[in-house]
Amino acid sequence: MLVQFTIFPTDKGEGLSGYVAEAIRIVDASGLSYKLGPMSTSIEGEWDEVFSVIKECRDAMRRYSNRVYIVIGVDDRAGAVNRIEGKIRSVAEKLGQEPKG
């Protein structure tokens, strides 16, 4: 299962990269395959693995913040694995070129 998520506090002003870094540290420590993007982080794993990581990120953020916003996208496809790199490669092959991944 491939999951993309964005998490941030809404009561901590304009600069948020310190809070985001803490979430990434939790994702990294999970051992799951992941990829950072400019606006979200993608993780691959089973439902319970992935949502337990996102819950841990939320718990950490709520220790400092009274209001946390999260956006999650799930692409759950039967039998699909190694999709963090695979989906970009699959699109690149269709393009017949190397996309800016």
**Segment 66-85, which members bind a copy of itself (CB under 8 A)?**
66-79, 83-85
Q: For residue 93, what is the enclosing H or E element?
A: helix 83-95
Least distance between a copy of itself and beta carbon 62 (Å) = 7
How many residues sit in the footprint of a copy of itself (CB under 8 A)? 58
**Nearest partner of 34 among 89, 90, 84, 91, judged by Cα:** 84
Give the span between the Cα atoms of 14 and 2, in whole angstroms.
29
Residues in contact with 15: Cβ distance below 8 Å, sequence separation at least 6, in sequence order: none
**Footprint of a copy of itself (CB under 8 A):** 2-4, 6, 8, 10-11, 13-14, 16-18, 20-21, 24-25, 28, 34-40, 42, 44, 47, 51, 55, 58, 62, 66-79, 83-85, 87-88, 90-91, 93-95, 99-101
